[in-house]
Each structure stands twice: as structure tokens, then as C-alpha cells.
Amino acid sequence: MPCRDAAGLPIGSATERIVFRSSATEADHEPKCRYSHTTRMEKDVTSHMPKDVTPLLPFPVRAVKPSRAVARRKPLAVAGLFAGIGGVELGLRKAGHESQVLCEIEPTAQAVLRRRFDGVPLHDDVTTLRSLPKGVELLTGGFPCQDLSQAGKTAGILDGKRSSLVGEVFRLVKKHDVPNVLLENVPFMLKLDSGQAMHVLADAFEKLGYSWAYRVVNSQAFGVPQRRERVIFLASKEIDPREVLLGEEVQEPTPPADPLGKLACGFYWTEGIRGLGWAVDAVPTLKGGSTIGIPSPPAIVLPNGEVVTPDIRDAERMQGFPAGWTAPAATVAKDSCRWKLVGNAVTVDLFHWVGKRLRAPLPAGALLDGRRIKANAGWPSAGWNCGEGRFGTELSTFPCIRSREPLADWLRHPGKPLSLRATNGFLERTTRSSLRFPPRFLELIRQHQRRVSADARG
């Protein structure tokens, strides 16, 4: 089902555009952002929403109608840096954009890209990528957020003295004057060095003449059962990036307080002392594995009390890929390498949304009110500078909401019971924890422990 805009219409529709707002009073949401319309028309749009979306919104919805029409834009020619297994590129391709070159250094990821993007040139090392194909209009990529910190402490990222991967992004941006740059990173980048890392990034784009906007977005908004937040950063010399990223907002769903026995719930079995990663009707963020490369998918407590880890094919689907997407990696390494690739990937559906908004932006995004972003402070969940200074506000991490089956029904492949060793280790750590665990959760884990122990004696 296509992701919907605020009126429940498919993204890209030529009909009216409106922006989700909560039905609560404006005062209830201070300091939430405002859409600064001079002529503001609000109406209840719940009746216009698709029937399969309405049940996921346990609150009334109100909307704001933008004051001008939306022009549809042409697809863009894309260069993908740090491409991984192609999550950004696949999402953009679904929206009509075309990859012209990919760059990825990991051999297992390269095997996936060669199979899934047949015919697209693939370069192995960004530091030796001398040029981009002619006509590239959008450069995409992600890089370790610590690179921003390092760049800020050394010579910077625009003067040619590069010691980080982010410097390679700007080398290519400067050389080719790429009109649009799309980056993704973890939300921690907003707090790194008390916000200074983000100032380094913003400074660099502003010196090159770009407008920019960013937003923290949750993959769950797009119909995948994975709680995964990422910062999406768009810089442009052609369009107002606020109209791509900030033009719509849905209140984040509130999970039930006691879901066990009713809904599947995910958690990190590798934790238990300082955190749990508890996710209702979803799994917590898929990770690339342990520091020594051992796959560590999250566990799921099913409604029937079974405790399993998901099959790799369902993990691929949790990132928006077709089941089996990473299978080519097993031709160059052990099959377990696929977990790292999936954990390090981005969610396809998120970038499908971005790709559609690049072609059909929402003018309401440019009407946001915000507050000046101060130096030496963390950045809010959304921000921008489109020529009038740096502003920020708090936005929901759900720009839209897309329905799906409950996690227990969504899974297509049998999970693997959490091992006795993993279960024992988790329960031992909880004895040393001060965490408050969900009601009945630990008893269900102990029941699972007894079952797998009996099976082992078998």
C-alpha cells in the first residue's frame, strides 16, 4: 500500500495537500512547531483516510491546508556513496530516481550490489573515486558521526586536509557542484560534542551556498515492524529542503501498557542491565552484531509465550528489502555475514518516502515556525537554514503512518528459539539490574528457560 499524505491520499497525488496535526489544543504541545499560514483552514480528515489506516490512529486527527499547489518534479540522477546493500538507492529507485554510480568498500555488500543493481557502475573506495558521472543531481550517503567531531577538531572538511570520510563527500560535492545532497545518520549526531558536530556539517554546506533541513524519522512510520530512528539531512541549491522533509506530521502511536499475550514484543537479549530495547508489536533497532562480529538479532516474545529470534529473511523485510536480498553475500563469506549487512542498512521504505517527496514536495514544510538554534547545545528533532539563519523545532518522528499486520502475523519465516545459553545470560544480567521490566515479562522468559532446558536434556 502506498504511503499516504495527510489527507490519506497517495504521495504524489495532484490533489490537495494537508498536514497531520494532533487534535489536542495548541497549548498542549508547547513547544511543538507551528505551520505559519496567513490563511489557515482546518478540518477533520479522518473520514477521508483509507479504512486500513484509520484503526492505527487512536486519536482524532486534524489537518492544515497549504496555501499553494505542489508542482511535480522530474526524477533525479543519483550517486550513492557508502551504499551498503542499497537501501537508499532501492528506496529512491522505487520513486523513479536512477542510480548512476555506487560506491561501497565492503566485499559482502559489493556482492549484493552487483546482483541487485546490475549494470550500475560500482566503485570500491570513496577515497579513490576521482569523479562522478556527468549529470549527477543527487549525492547520497551516510558516514560515522564521529567523523564530524574529528573534522571539527582538525583542519575541517572544506580545506582539503581530509582525515575522515565526510571530507570525501564534500570533495566530490565541491568538484561537481552537485545541486542536492542527501545524508543519513544516527540521532546521536545531534548531541555529539554538545551539538558542535552538527554545526560543523551545517557550516560546510552554508559556505557552499546550500539551504538545508533535517529531521529525525522512525522507520515504523512506513509499515515495517522495527523501531529505528535516523536523522535525514537534505541540502539543496535547487529546492526548499523543508518542503521535502518537514511538510507532514502524524502523532506517534501510543502502545498498550500491558501487551504481553496480545502482541509480539521485541527486546535485546544481549542487554538487561542498563537497557532492554523494549518494543511493542515491533523489534528494536536491528544492529550489525557484536564488537567481535557475532550476529545478535533481537529476540521476540510471541503472544503464545514463545521466545524466538527472527529469520534473516524477515530481518531483511524489517528493513524494507525483499526476503533473500542479501543472499549474494554468502557467495563471498559465511551466511552469518548477512546479519551485519542488514543491521548496518537503512530502511528502504523511508527513502521511498523521501524519493516521492523530492518529486512532490509539500509547501507547508516551509511554513514551520521554529526557534533559533544556539551554539553549544543539542539540536532538536528537526531543523533548517534556508537563508534566514538556523532554526529548529520538535516534530514527531512519524511524518506519515502506514498500516501493517501485527508483528506475530507479519513474520513469514519460522524463528529460532532463543538459546539456553542466551536466555541464561539475559536472566542473570536482570538480577543485577535496577530496570523496571514489563509486567509478566521475566516470568515468560523463565518459562522459556525451562522449556529449552528440558529440550536440551531431551
C-alpha to C-alpha distance for 178 and 452, rounded to whole angstroms:
56
The C-alpha angle 4, 393, 220, rounded to 5 degrees, equals 35
- Tell me how far apart the 2 most distant CA atoms of the chain are, in Å: 73
Q: Which amino acid is at 360?
A: A
CA-CA distance, 316 to 325, in Å (whole number)?
7
DSSP label at residue 4: B
| Distance from C-alpha of 383 to C-alpha of 430, rounded to nearest angstrom | 39
Tell me which H or E stretch contains 317.
helix 312-318
Q: How far apart are CA 202 and CA 53, in angstroms?
A: 37
Catalytic annotation present for 145: yes
The Cα 132–Cα 139 span in angstroms is 9
- Alpha-carbon span 238 to 181, nearest angstrom: 11
Q: Is 217 helix (H, G, I), strand (E, B) or coil?
A: strand
Question: What's the Cα-to-Cα distance from 414 to each of 75, 307, 309, 353, rounded to whole Å?
Answer: 39, 12, 9, 30
Q: How far apart are CA 130 and CA 114, in angstroms?
A: 21
Q: How far is CA 430 from CA 56, 282, 289, 436, 439, in A?
A: 33, 22, 21, 10, 14
Q: Which of 33, 145, 265, 400 is the catalytic position?
A: 145
| CA separation for the pair 155, 424 (Å, rounded) | 49
| Residue 134, C-alpha cell as written in the block | 556527468
CA pair distance 390, 386, nearest whole angstrom: 8
Contact 353, 222 (CB under 8 A): yes
- For the chain, how big is the Rg over CA atoms in Å? 22
Q: Are 179 and 240 in contact (CB under 8 A)?
A: no
SS (H, E, C) 234-252: EEECCCCCHHHHCCCCECC
Residues annotated as catalytic (active site), given as ranges:
145
